Amino acid sequence: MTDPVIDNDATRRIIDADFTTALPKTELHAHLSGSISRETLSSIWQTKKSQGDDGALALGDPAIALKPSGSFPTILSFFQIFNEYIYNLVNDRESISYATKSIAEDFRRDGVRYLELRTTPREIPTAGISRENYVQIVLDALGQYRNDQVQMKAADHIGIQLILSIDRTMTPSQAHEIVDIASKYMSRSRAPSTTIPPPSVIALDLCGNPTKGDVGTFTSAFRRAKAFGLKLTVHFAEVPASSTEEELRTLLSWRPDRLGHAIHIPPDLKDVIKKQKLGLELCLSCNVLAEMTQGGFKGHHFGEWAATECPVALSTDDVGVFESSLSNEYLIASREFGLGREEVVQLARGAVAAAFAGRERMERLIGDFERVEQIPSSL
């Protein structure tokens, strides 16, 4: 856990884990299968082993699988964790549902009050699960979790919406299938939002190994999604190989609403992004630990973008793998970029501005937090 930071503003109050945990936060870039904690994976593994599941017996301890070479994976070894381990363990209705609810609870406990969780609809023939079934299972689990919160009148509740991811290795027809599913499960309700709105699909994402695939093959799928009224976010300029002028211009031609990572961007395209004030999902620990950026935390491009008018949403990406919660990411930002309490609260507001939904409720929660913590909301 990161050391507490003494704020240099007038209040001289400490910014510590209690402060960043209590801060009502918005998480906009979290992959479902990458957000499953080690404890949850372990519990699924133990249960399957005790049932004599041969697949689970062959898989080995999740703690070792998550750190294949004894340390955090780099962007090069990262994708194997999913393909060789997590997808083989979390591979039936029960485990997907359990993992989804556990993730919701983990984010809630960390003080996240609004979450846009993303996942790639996975076909699992061994369990008779189609891509659409997968989305139903996740939405059902989120719906049950939401109903439990409503019933318990939980004070610190979390609202969750779903983003469907298209993987770069998919075919165009698989991408269109996901657009069809997204359109079927998006909310068309214009009813006034309840305290915790029920989960539905709100957006489409492009993710997956950035050294693979040709993004141009997905243009028609993403254009169709936009026409259906879905919001768009894309993994953008993650590694040099996926940062060619051609690829980035293709992605921007889809008119995405937000960009994930946004690391290796040439200056002319930075100007386009600034002009359009696109929302940016920036992941400090993931980028630094997976060696996607240079110069440690202080060298992270968060510093550059935080000074622009683009709303920045600090995000975890894969908290199950990189073990840094969103409240810890705020603590790191405070420590490494010298942010005082007002600036940290302001950062949380930036994420709200980039959210696809839930803004009104989050503004209210952050306003209440400011009053309790006696932070002037003058900024």
Residues 84 to 113: which contact ligand IMP by CB under 6 A? none
Instruction: Using alpha carbons, select from 363, 268, 328, 256 the residue that is nearest to residue 106.
Output: 328
Between vectors from CA 22 to CA 321 and to CA 262, what angle results, nearest 5°?
45
Catalytic, out of 27, 116, 238, 281: 238
The DSSP annotation for 32-91 comes to: TTTS--HHHHHHHHHHHHHTT-HHHHHH--HHHHHSTTSSPPPTTTHHHIIIIIIHHHS-
Residue among 25, 146, 231, 235 that touches ligand IMP (CB under 6 A): 235
Q: Which is nearer to ligand IMP, 35 or 183 (CB)?
A: 35
Q: Contact between 33 and ligand IMP (CB under 6 A)? A: yes
Residue among 7, 317, 342, 370 that touches ligand IMP (CB under 6 A): 317
Q: Contact between 7 and ligand IMP (CB under 6 A)? A: no
Q: How far is the CB of 29 from Zn ion (least distance, A)?
A: 6
Q: Contact between 31 and ligand IMP (CB under 6 A)? A: yes
Quick check: is 94 catalytic? no
Q: Contact between 82 and ligand IMP (CB under 6 A)? A: yes
The token pair that represents 347 in the structure block: 């950062």
Report phi then psi at 130, rounded to 5. Answer: -90, 170
Q: How far is the CB of 161 from ligand IMP (least distance, A)?
A: 15
Instruction: Using alpha carbons, select from 22, 28, 23, 21 the residue that is nearest to residue 358.
Output: 28
Helix 341-354 / helix 359-373 crossing angle, nearest 10 deg: 170
Q: How far is the CB of 281 from ligand IMP (least distance, A)?
A: 10
Q: Which is nearer to ligand IMP, 15 or 181 (CB)?
A: 181
Q: Which residues of 14-45 are buried (b: 16+ CB within 10 A; e: fewer)?
A: ebbbebbbebbbbbbbbbbbbbbbbebbebbb
Q: Contact between 110 and Zn ion (CB under 5 A)? A: no
Pairing between strand 5-6 and 14-15?
A: antiparallel
With CB cut-offs between 5 and 8 Å by kind, which of Zn ion, ligand IMP, none does residue 334 bind?
none
Residue among 111, 208, 256, 311 that touches ligand IMP (CB under 6 A): 208
Report helix, strand or coil for 106: helix
Q: Contact between 317 and Zn ion (CB under 5 A)? A: yes
Binding mask 110-139 for ligand IMP (x = CB under 6 A): ---------xx-------------------
Q: How far is the CB of 79 from ligand IMP (least distance, A)?
A: 6
Q: CA neighbours within 13 Å on the CB side: how many for 137? A: 26
Report helix, strand or coil for 279: strand
Collect all residues with Cβ–Cβ distance below 8 Å to 145 and sequence separation of at least 6.
100, 101, 104, 105, 160
Count the neighbouring beta carbons within 10 Å of the beta carbon of residue 347: 23
Q: Contact between 162 and ligand IMP (CB under 6 A)? A: no
Q: CA neighbours within 13 Å on the CB side: how many for 374? A: 5
With CB cut-offs between 5 and 8 Å by kind, which of Zn ion, ligand IMP, none does residue 120 bind?
ligand IMP
Residues 250 to 309: which contact ligand IMP by CB under 6 A? none
Q: How far is the CB of 7 from ligand IMP (least distance, A)?
A: 31
Q: Which is nearer to Zn ion, 177 or 317 (CB)?
A: 317
Q: How far is the CB of 117 from ligand IMP (least distance, A)?
A: 8
Collect all residues with Cβ–Cβ distance below 8 Å to 148 and sequence separation of at least 6.
none
Binding-site ranges for ligand IMP (CB under 6 A): 31-34, 82, 119-120, 165, 167, 207-208, 235, 238, 317-318
The residues that are catalytic are 238
Binding-site ranges for Zn ion (CB under 5 A): 317
